Structure 1
């Protein structure tokens, strides 16, 4: 009897394993397959479901929401009046969470006050809140998944794309699972599905001459924000003023190029850290594996020059936490260390991400512990630490590196600074933007007179909110007719600097999904939907497509 039972058990186990493998080989099907885990993934999926179609989110990320739920809680909004639809609904849901007393675990709501970028963090009149903790943002995204019964497959990495008659038939992930759909939406920061489908794209900065722009291309000599060395004459050499001693780490020996010309370099990435001084919720900074104090020699010279702005972008979010962004000539932006990220393998990308993590954690540890750091800066840094109740399953470190820019599609319509600045009209608006055309530094180099300088930091304000053209999310005619790209949108480098804000990605994700659903409903290609029909649908959903007010 024991032998028979054992045999039966083994046969049952083998049968179940084979059954599971068989199920794994079967395609998972939906009307719309959405690849990526950014905030646009959620707005796109919700819109598809609201219009009576089925959607599957295939996400490389285990935690959805992209930068919105990974540290960027001090939202870059620009004019909030042009944020409508599901994007506004998201910020209203954030507001609702912060009306609950239990959300204020470490701080009284009344003590938080009105902090924000020009307008209050909490807008009671419109029931919106624009500044929030990463964990609260993730809860809102998970609420969307529950409320709309969204189908989400996490930790699923694109392996291959099956094409048929100029359309995507299916995608397959590294584990062998296949996802089959009628429409596909690429919501990754990197544009991975777009690239795999053979759609045209670019990486880096175009020359100003390409699109008749002023602020594209290399920007040597342009110092817009405070993220440069200015007129501080700081030597880049290991032995000050001695070129024979070699360069300090993280300074390039290459010629930066000529202003206005093209290159293939990228603006710097960083992690948007959630820190706190609350002793009950603070995790002290520790020395990361691979720590090398020599990587931070340059910041000592910055301190020696009298610079004292280390904590200027420790922006307050609720519960005594921060959204920390880059600030100054040497900060959390890891300049020049991401150039091969957009087209790199997954393995190489992980190496780049890990190097950024080590650099940034090491910088915190260095400032808090190295005896050469000025005492006033060091004593202040020692008060800070990681927020214990954020990113708890990732060592309190953000899940997502800030991919400010990677691939950008060259699509049906290329948005440029001329549209952003109102010099060229947009006729087929699918949403609006208003934020500064913003690029972080791209190079750190040696000037002709032998000093260190940063290059690439640009900030140019649009005169008023601008429209984003439908063609910017569509590939060129003849390139993959069932794909939409609302994140790696078709735009020049400098135009993308304004478009690339999280609320805009949510807006464009919703608009892309609406177009996909209309095409499915009418059984036509994406380009066959009359714009007036799409416009009516978007306005019904609360999208803001036109705005006549000032900035």
Structure 2
């Protein structure tokens, strides 16, 4: 039921926001999910990031790590015939994701509000409690209040406006990973396409001739669910701050310029693309990194690569440290040992200074290097589900996140289908 006062407000309807809102509502909290676009999915729809990156521990016997809301979305898209491809098992149809995410939220009792952009935050006199958020939409400026808030904006917009301590980019110069405008080519004769290595070789030759100006060292493409459609995650827009609206505008324009160069290159130099056409570009440029909240604990890449386990684990992952060079060419990849995974502790979701706020998704408290691993959608979804669950429990038990019984959060997540591996040995 529409209103202005809720138990939990989730700001942002991307992967983490979907999971947070569903979890909070299922825990009995009246939950409002506010989204700036007219659909859910965020990185998976608005930014068109596809396919989902690995949600299992690799090796000869792969072990799935993330279940919960992620698995529910997978199952529902599978029923629609919109998940997976013989050569790309985690490819999904963005249009299907919009529908199944929306249905999941509505069935859980989440109140959805689309076309509403966060503009301001009202704090109490102490400066440590969020009283309300102000959004801009067709009604003008509207205030919504709640007992607990979840920042699932991806860019820590809510936390930053509330006065939380935040960092941006790498420590040496503050530069963030580059942005990418995803695009798709249709009517491709996929059987005649050269392999990835050969397409990259021709791309590098075109760069030497000056036909392409893209500061990336290779061509990254994936199979889409639709026949004859190839998905490209290969443009690279550097030296832009995704939290600066002027630079974000410049990034969108530069991304489209690069896409047009790629289209010309593919049609001219790559077999199978002679009669292909640009099907679509993402509604919004893809953002890998922007703000990160400083929380009760800062997760490091060393801990991830060492497969550290934590008593207050609320999510798991095994995606590698994956840093796209903020300055230009080059990508650093550091993998875990086969079969290993890392834990993400609850403390990373609890920001300093702000008492009734939890962070979901990629802006949690982590270093630039650790962020590069935990930023992918399945992990963000698992973190969001934990944030929403904890927020609802805080309301129910009338406690703050720093006081919540994390074991209670873990038990609730387990009941929701999450698997936290809490029977494994724990590092201090």
Taking structure 2 as the reference length, what is the TM-score of the superposition? 0.84
Match of 2:102 among 139, 142, 148: 142
- For the structure 1 residues 180 and 267, does the alpha-carbon distance in structure 2 shift closer, same or farther, using more than 3 Å as the test? same
Tell which deviates more after alignment, 130-139 or 420-429: 420-429
Aligned to 1:470: 346
- Give yes or no for the alignment of 1:182 onto 2:150: no
Asked if 1:505 is matched to 2:386, the reply is: no
1:399 aligns with 2:283: yes
Match of 1:322 among 213, 218, 230: 230
For 1:493 and 1:195, how far apart are their aligned partners in 2?
17
Give 2:60's aligned residue.
none
- The Cα offsets for residues 172-213 of structure 1, whole Å up to 9 and x where unpaired, read as 11331111110001101211101001111111112xxxxxxx
Deviation at 1:56, TM superposition (A): 0.8
Give matches, 1:218-367, under 5 Å: 262-277=172-187, 299-301=206-208, 313-320=220-227, 321-326=229-234, 332-336=235-239, 338=240, 340-342=241-243, 344-345=244-245, 348=246, 350-367=248-265
Instruction: Give the CA deviation at 1:380.
Output: 4.7
Give unmatched runs, 5+ long, in structure 2: 57-62, 190-202
CA 359–83 in structure 1, closer or farther in 2 if over 3 Å, else same: same
Partners of 2:85 and 2:223 within 8 A in 1: no
In structure 2, the partner of 1:30 is 6
Structure 1: give runs of 5+ residues left out of the alignment: 1-25, 105-111, 122-129, 207-261, 280-295, 327-331, 370-374, 388-395, 445-453
1:73 matched to 2:26 = no
Distance 1:461 1:368, change over 3 A: closer
So what's the TM-score if we normalise by structure 1? Answer: 0.66
Report the equivalent of 1:414. 298
The alignment status of 1:494 with 2:387, answered yes or no, reads no
Q: Provide the C-alpha distance between the structure 2 equivalents of 1:310 and 1:443, rounded to a whole number of angstroms.
A: 12
2:165 paired residue among 162, 181, 200: 200
| Structure 1 residue 74: Cα displacement | 1.4
Name the CA distance, whole Å, in 1 between partners of 2:52 and 2:225: 13
* Local SS of the residue matching 2:183: coil
1:12 matched to which residue of 2?
Answer: none
**C-alpha distance 277-410 of structure 1, shift in aligned 2 (>3 A):** same
2:53 is the counterpart of 1:83: no
Q: CA deviation at 1:365?
A: 4.3
Q: CA deviation at 1:360?
A: 2.9
Distance 1:513 1:72, change over 3 A: same
Q: What is residue 276 of structure 2 aligned with on the other side?
A: 384
Q: Which residue of 2 aligns with 1:61?
A: 37
Paired with 2:348 and 2:67, the residues of 1 have a C-alpha distance of: 19
Instruction: Please report the RMSD computed on the Cα atoms of aligned residues, expressed in angstroms.
Output: 2.8
> Does the CA contact (< 8 Å) of 1:408 and 1:490 recur in 2?
yes
> Paired residue for 1:154, among 104, 107, 114?
114
Q: What corresponds to 1:245 in structure 2?
A: none
Instruction: Assess if the C-alpha contact under 8 Å between 1:84 and 1:542 holds in 2.
Output: yes
Paired with 1:399 and 1:322, the residues of 2 have a C-alpha distance of 17
Structure with greater proportional strand content: 2
Residues in 2 aligned to 1:27 and 1:192: alpha-carbon distance in whole angstroms: 23
Q: Which residue of 1 aligns with 2:78?
A: 95
Q: Residue 47 in 1 paired to residue 23 in 2?
A: yes
What is the alpha-carbon distance in structure 1 between the residues aligned to residue 111 and residue 205 of structure 2?
A: 48
Check if 1:433 corresponds to 2:317.
yes
Paired residues of 2:221 and 2:233 also in contact (CA < 8 A): yes
8 Å contact 1:367–1:381 — kept in the other structure? Answer: no
Deviation digits for residues 33-55 of structure 1 (CA, Å, limit 9, x no counterpart): 11112111111111111111111
Residues 298 and 356 of structure 1, relative CA distance in 2, 3 Å threshold: farther
Q: Distance in 2 between the 1:363 and 1:498 partners?
A: 30
Relative to 1, partners in 2 of residues 1:44 and 1:425: Cα closer, same or farther, differing over 3 Å? Answer: closer
Counterpart in 2 of 1:530?
405
Alpha-carbon spacing, 1:442–1:302, altered in 2? closer, same or farther (3 Å): farther
Alignment check: 8 A CA contact 2:309 2:342 kept: no
Secondary structure at the counterpart of residue 43 of structure 1: helix
Deviation at 1:78, TM superposition (A): 4.4
User: Which range moves more in the overlay, 29-38 or 65-74?
Assistant: 65-74
Residues 481-536 of structure 1, C-alpha deviation per residue, up to 9 Å, x if partnerless? 10011121110111111101101111111111111111111111122222222221
Q: Partner residue of 1:235?
A: none
Q: Distance in 1 between matches of 2:38 and 2:247?
A: 17
1:115 to 87, 93, 98: 87
2:197 aligns with: none
Bigger drift between 194-203 and 69-78 goes to: 69-78
- CA distance in structure 1 between the partners assigned to 2:266 and 2:301 by the alignment: 41
- Give distance in 2, aligned partners of 1:156 and 1:205: 31
